[in-house]
């Protein structure tokens, strides 16, 4: 509902969402808390753009691209999807 409200109001919203570990993508997700067959497809109709991340090094560019999309007219919500294992991995990333 919140992303639908943002879309209806043309509000730029950056949604950063967890996904199953990368090894569980593509249908091998049994036993994980988020077992939607295609999480991106569930939100694609509500958000302007979807930005999947598969490695920690992709996080800065995905966030930057998503935010640019959110702020480009017409404004609206965007979706960044990051697997659990990537979120939990230790890494050093430059500021965005």
**Paired tokens of 62:** 């995905």
Residue 17 lies in a domain: yes
Question: How high is the pLDDT of residue 27?
Answer: 59
What residues of the chain score a pLDDT lower than 50? none
Residue 16 lies in a domain: yes
Residue 39: closest CA among 60, 53, 58: 53
Q: Write out pLDDT tens, residues 72-94.
A: 999 999 999 998 889 888 888 77
Q: DSSP label at 90?
A: -
Question: How high is the pLDDT of residue 35?
Answer: 58
Q: Residue 43's domain is classified under what CATH number? A: 3.40.50.970
Question: How high is the pLDDT of residue 74?
Answer: 95
Residue 94 lies in a domain: no
Residue 84 lies in a domain: yes
> Which residues form the domain of 50?
2-27+37-88
């Amino acid at each position: 509902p919140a992303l639908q409200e943002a879309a209806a109001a043309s509000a730029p919203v950056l949604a950063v969402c967890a996904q199953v570990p990368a090894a569980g993508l593509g249908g091998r997700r049994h036993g994980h808390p988020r077992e939607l067959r295609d999480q991106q497809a569930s939100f694609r109709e509500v958000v302007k753009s979807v930005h999947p991340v598969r490695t920690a090094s992709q996080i800065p560019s995905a966030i930057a691209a998503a935010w640019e999309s959110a702020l480009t007219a017409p404004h609206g919500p965007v979706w960044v999807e990051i697997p659990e294992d990537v979120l939990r991995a230790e890494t050093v990333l430059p500021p965005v």
